[in-house]
Amino acid sequence: MSLKHAMLGFLSWQPHSGYDLKKQIGASYTHHWSGNNNQIYRTLVELHNEGLVTREIEHQDDSPSRKIYTITDAGRAELKAWAMSQPDLPEWKIPFLVQLAWTHDLNAEEMDALLAAYAEQLRMEVLMLREQVHRGTSAPDRSARESFIWHQMATHWLALYENELVWIRSLQGELHTQTKSEEDET
Amino acid sequence: MSLKHAMLGFLSWQPHSGYDLKKQIGASYTHHWSGNNNQIYRTLVELHNEGLVTREIEHQDDSPSRKIYTITDAGRAELKAWAMSQPDLPEWKIPFLVQLAWTHDLNAEEMDALLAAYAEQLRMEVLMLREQVHRGTSAPDRSARESFIWHQMATHWLALYENELVWIRSLQGELHTQTKSEEDET
DNA sequence: GTTGCCATGTAAGGTGTTACATGATTTA
DNA sequence: TAAATCATGTAACACCTTACATGGCAAC
The burial class, CB within 10 Å (0-12 / 13-18 / 19+), for B62 is exposed
- Chain centroid to CA B113: 28
CATH of domain A95-185: 1.20.1280
pLDDT in tens, B51-66: 999 999 998 877 789 9
Looking at chain B, which residue has its C-alpha nearest residue A1?
Answer: B95
Closest-CA distance, A62 to chain B, in angstroms, reads 34
| pLDDT at residue B59 in the model | 87
| pLDDT higher than threshold 80 for residue A181 | no
> From the list A5, A146, A174, which residue is nearest B104 (CB)?
A146
Four-CA torsion B9, B13, B17, B22, nearest 10 degrees: -50
Q: What crossing angle do the helices spanning A73-83 and A3-13 adopt, rounded to 10°?
A: 120
Domain A3-83 class? Answer: mainly alpha
CA angle A60, A75, A16 (to 5 degrees): 25
The pLDDT value given to residue A63:
77
**Structural domain boundaries in chain A:** 3-83, 95-185
- Contact (CB, 8 A) for B78 and B52: yes
Which of A174, A179, A117 is closest to B152 using CA atoms? A174
- Nearest of A60, A82, A56 to residue A4 by alpha carbon: A82
Is there a contact between A30 and B98 if contact means CB atoms under 8 Å apart?
yes
Out of A14-18, B53-57, B177-181, least confident range: B177-181
Least confident interval from A77-86, A176-185, B99-108: A176-185
Please determine whether the domains at A3-83 and A95-185 fall in the same fold group of CATH: no
For A44, A134, B172, the CA distances from B76, given in Å and listed in that order, are 47, 45, 49
Contact call for residues B7 and B43 (beta carbons, < 8 A):
yes
Q: Are B116 and B176 in contact (CB under 8 A)?
A: no
What is residue B63's predicted lDDT score, i.e. its pLDDT?
79
**With pLDDT > 90 as the criterion, what percentage of chain A qualifies?**
85
Nearest to B30 among A86, A90, A101 (CB): A101
Which pLDDT score is estimated for B186?
63
pTM (global) more than 0.85: yes
pLDDT tens digits for range A69-115: 999 999 999 999 999 999 999 999 999 999 999 999 999 999 999 99
Give the closest-approach CA distance of B63 to chain A in angstroms: 31
Question: Searching chain B, which residue's CA lies closest to the CA of residue A115?
Answer: B87
pLDDT of residue A186: 63
Interface of A with B in 114-173 (CB under 8 A): 114, 117-118, 121-122, 125, 140, 142-146, 148-150, 152-153, 156-157, 159-161, 163-164, 167, 171
Interface touch B101/A182, C-beta < 8 Å: no
**B16-32 tens-digit pLDDT:** 999 999 999 999 999 99
* Cβ atoms within 10 Å, residue A33: 17
Concatenated DSSP letters of A109-142: HHHHHHHHHHHHHHHHHHHHHHHHHHH------S
Q: Kindly tell me the sign of the dihedral angle through the C-alpha atoms of B117, B121, B126, B131.
A: positive
Question: Taking a C-beta distance cutoff of 8 angstroms, is the pair B95, A134 a contact?
Answer: no
